[in-house]
Amino acid sequence: MSFSHNFDPTSLREYDIRGIVGKTLSAEDAFAIGRTFGSLVRRNNGKLVVVGYDGRLSSPMLEEALVQGVAECGLEVVRVGRGPTPMLYYASSALKADGAIMVTGSHNPPDYNGFKMMLAGKPFFGEQIRELGELAAKGDVVTLEKGSVREVDLREEYVQRLVRDYDGGERKLKIVWDNGNSSAGEVLEDLVALLPGEHIVLNAKIDGTFPAHHPDPTVAKNLEQLISVVRDNGADLGIAFDGDADRIGIVDNQGEILWGDQILVLLARDVLKTHPGATIIADVKASQVLFDEVARAGGKPLMWRTGHSLIKSKMAETGSPLAGEMSGHIFFADKWYGFDDALYAGVRALGIVARMDEPLSVFREALPLTISTPEVRFNCDDRRKFEVIEEVAARLKAEGADVSGIDGVRVNTADGWWLLRASNTQAVLVARAEGRDAAGLDRLKAALVAQLEQSGLEKPDFSGNNAGH
C-alpha cells in the first residue's frame, strides 16, 4: 500500500508536533507520525517503541492511530497507557526503547494536542521534525510486515522509583498539591500515599477540559487556588503541575510564588553539596540572581538557549547534574535520568524543605531582590523576527554593549539586563527585563523599546505587573 501524507505546516514545531484537533491535527496525522517516525527507528536499527498519552479528550483516538502507524513499520510497540509525560520518558529508559512518543497537548488549551518524541534515548526536535514532515510528504517509509503491540503498566514501578530518592527523613511536612486535572492524576495519588507527611491534593481527577484552571503553573492566576489552600491550612509548601506534569510550580509556606529560577537555586545548592564545581544550566530568561547564586554555592553557572530539547542536549554534552528553565522544566541527572519531571523535582524539593531548620519563605526572602517585567510576547512575522534580532545585535555591537548572543540578545548594563529573542515555536518576539530597582528597570525598558523602534516595530505592552524577584 502506497503512503504519502502532508501535515499542516503550522503543526511542525521546533520541539514537538502540535495543533488544534479537527483543524490542524487529526488521526490521519497521528498515523503518519507513527508510520514515518517508526521508519526512522527501523533505519536506525531499532526494534522497540514506547507510546503514552495524556488526559486530553482527543488523546486516546490519536494514540490508537499513532500505534497503528508505528506497528506498520514492523516494530514492537509497547503502550504504557495514560499518564504524565515523564512516565513515558521513564518507560523509554527502563525498557531500553529505541524510540518513544508521547501524545500530549502539554499546557495548551483543551482543543490542542500534540506529540513529543525521543529517538535512541535523545530528544527528537528541530531539523529532525522537519525531516519527518518531508519523508511523510514523499512517502519515504519502510515497508515491512506488521509488528507487535502489547501493553505494559509501569505506574507502580515509576512511583517506587520516584519515592526512592526522597531524602527528607521522617519529618512530617504538610503539602498541598495542585494536580490541575493533569495526566499525573493516579500517579500523584500513589506517590503521596508513600511519602511521609500530610498531603492535600487539589483537582486530582484527570480531566482534559481542565475545569479548575488553565494547566500552566508559570502564570500566577493559575496558582490562586493553591495559594489560598496553602495559607488556609498553614502548609509548608504547595506544588503545581502543567497539563502533562513535566513542568513544576512551587509556592512557599506564606503562599508566595517561587519562580522557575528560584526553584533552581533551591535545588542547585543541594546538588552542589555532592557535586562541588558542577555545571548548572539555566535558560537565557533566568534571573542574574540564579547565575550569581550558583557561582556562590561553588557551581559553574551556564546560560543556554530556551527549549527543553536544547537544555537536555546541553546537559548530556557537559555532564551537568541539574538544569532548569523559567518555564518550570527542571532536569535532574543527579540520581535521575536527565529528563524533565515535575513529580521528581517535587520529591527532591520536599526532601530539601524537610531538612531545613527554617520555613521555605526564609530561603525566598534571603535571595537578592530584583524587579522584573513579565515575559512579554508580541507578534512578528516568522522571517522578520530573526532579521530584527540580527539588526539589534549589529547595532549593540557597534555601540560596544555587553551582550550575550546565545539565544537572541541579552544585554547587561549597570541597571541589570534586558532580553530580546525570537520564539522557536511561534511568530512572536519575546522580551524581558530585570533591574535592581524601579528606575533602573524603566531605563532598561526604554533601551529595549528604542532598539525595537529602530527596527520599525511598535512598543510592546509592558503593562503586566512588574514582579519583585
CA angle 108, 110, 115 (to 5 degrees): 55
> Same domain, yes or no, for 249 and 387?
no
SS3 label, residue 401: coil
Say if residue 65 is in the same domain as residue 149.
Answer: yes
Among residues 92, 106, 183, 313, which one is catalytic?
106
Same domain? For 330 and 377 the reply is: no
pLDDT at 1: 53
255 and 292 both lie in a single domain? yes
Q: Do residues 54 and 192 both lie within one domain? A: no
Does residue 117 sit in the same domain as residue 228? no
Residue that terminates a domain, selected from 346, 366, 386: 366
Among candidates 156, 206, 184, which has minimal Cα distance to 83? 184
Whether 106 sits among the annotated catalytic residues: the reply is: yes
Enumerate residue ranges in the chain where pLDDT < 50.
465
* Tens digits of residue pLDDT in 143-160: 878 999 999 999 999 999
- Residue 4 domain-assigned (yes or no): no
Is there a domain that residue 338 lies in?
yes
What single-letter DSSP state applies at residue 108?
S
> Residue 409: which CATH number?
3.30.310.50
| Angle, vertex CA 178, rays to CA 227 and CA 334, nearest 5 | 105
Q: Does any domain span residue 164?
A: yes
> Which of 349, 366, 383 is where one domain is finished?
366
Domain stop point among 105, 126, 153: 153
pLDDT of amino acid 15 = 87
Residue 341's closest CA among 84, 18, 79? 84
Residues 307 and 418 in one domain: no
Using an 8 Å Cβ cutoff, are 389 and 420 in contact? yes
* Residue 165: per-residue pLDDT: 98
pLDDT at 383: 86
Shared-domain flag, residues 183 and 322: yes
- Does 272 share its domain with 178? yes
Instruction: Indicate the number of domains in the chain.
Output: 3
Please name which of 206, 253, 189 lies closest in space to residue 226, comparing C-alpha atoms: 253
Tell me, yes or no, whether 134 and 100 share the same domain.
yes
d(CA 407, CA 424): 10
Tell me: do 147 and 165 sit in the same domain: no
Q: Rounded distance, CA 154 to CA 160, Å? A: 10
Give the domain range for residue 255. 157-366
Residue 469's pLDDT is what?
A: 56
pLDDT at 130: 96
Residue 405 lies in a domain: yes
Does residue 127 belong to any structural domain of this protein? yes
Same domain, 261 and 403: no
Q: What is the CATH number of the domain that holds 170?
A: 3.40.120.10
DSSP 256: P
- Within-domain flag for 442: yes
Query: Is 3 part of a structural domain of the chain?
Result: no
Q: Is 97 among the domain residues? A: yes
